[in-house]
Amino acid sequence: MRQVRELIRELRRKGFHAIGVLIPIGYYLGLKLPLPGADRMWLTQRDATLILGGITAAYFLIELVRLIDPDANRFIVRRFRFLLRRSEVHTVTGTGYFLLGAFLSVWLFRPVFAIGAILYLIFGDFLAALVGKAIGRIKLIARKSLEGSLACFTVCFVIGVALFWNVTPDLPITLQLAVIGAIAATVAELVPLKINDNLTMPLISGAALMIAAQTIRVEIPLP
C-alpha cells in the first residue's frame, strides 16, 4: 500500500511537471511560424532565451521570498504540498531546477538540441520514475532500477529519432545522435549527483549532442 501511495504521489508530481512540455513546443513553433507582416519568425534563439530567462528569474525571486519568510513558505507549501517532496519544503523546488535547466539549454545549445534535451528531461525522467516504481526489480544505483533506466533510454531514443530526422533526414546521422542523446540522458538520470537531475539531465544530454555533432561534422539546421 505504501508503494502504491508513493507511486501516485510521484506520478502527480511528474504529471504536473509535464506542463513544461509547453516550453519546447512553444520554442519549436516559434522558430517555425512566420510573424505576420514581418520578415522573420515569431521567435529567435535570443528571444526565447530572454523570455525563459525572465520567467526563471521571476520564479527564483518567489523562491527566495518563500525561503526567507516562514509565513510565505507555510502559505505556499500548504497550497502546493501535493507537488512537493519533503526535501523541497526548505530548499529550491524541482520546478526551479527544471526552469533553470531549460533556460540554460535554450541559451547554450542549438535549438534542436535544446528542444531534445528538455523533452528528454520531461519524458525520460517521467518514464524512469513510473516504470522504476511500478515494476523495477533490478537495482542499479541507489534506488534506481534497470527497468526504469531502460524506459528512460527508450523514450529518449524515440524522441531523438523523431526530432533529428525532421531536421537532418540522414538515417545513420539520425541514429548516431539519437543513441548518444539517449545514453547521455539516461546516465544523467541514473547517476546520483549532488545537483538536481532537473538541471543536470538537459545540460549533460545537450552538451553530449553538441559534441557529437561537432565530432561527426554535421551541421544541424534550425527545426
Residue 189, pLDDT > 60, answer yes
CB 205 within 8 A of CB 129: no
CB 23 within 8 A of CB 53: no
Distance CA(76)–CA(73), nearest Å, equals: 5
Grid-cell match 525532421, residue found: 166
Higher pLDDT, 221 or 160: 160
Distance CA(17)–CA(198), nearest Å, equals: 10
Distance CA(164)–CA(223), nearest Å, equals: 9
CB 136 within 8 A of CB 10: no
Distance CA(56)–CA(98), nearest Å, equals: 9
Mean pLDDT along residues 5-23: 70
Residue 91, SS3 per DSSP: coil
Nearest partner of 188 among 144, 147, 130, judged by Cα: 144
Distance CA(114)–CA(102), nearest Å, equals: 8
Residue 145, SS3 per DSSP: strand
Banded pLDDT at 181 (limits 50, 70, 90): very high
Q: Could you tell me the CA-to-CA distances from 78 to 35, 50, 71, 84 in Å, in that order? A: 42, 32, 11, 10
DSSP state of 120: I
Q: Could you tell me the CA-to-CA distances from 40 to 37, 45, 52, 88, 177 in Å, in that order? A: 9, 12, 20, 42, 29
- pTM score of the predicted model: 0.88
For residue 205, give the C-alpha cell.
544530454
Higher pLDDT, 3 or 135: 135
Residue 36, SS3 per DSSP: coil
Banded pLDDT at 37 (limits 50, 70, 90): confident
Distance CA(49)–CA(29), nearest Å, equals: 15
Q: What is the pLDDT of residues 39-93, one digit of tens each?
A: 888 999 999 999 999 999 999 999 999 999 888 888 888 877 767 777 777 788 8
Nearest partner of 115 among 13, 30, 54, judged by Cα: 30
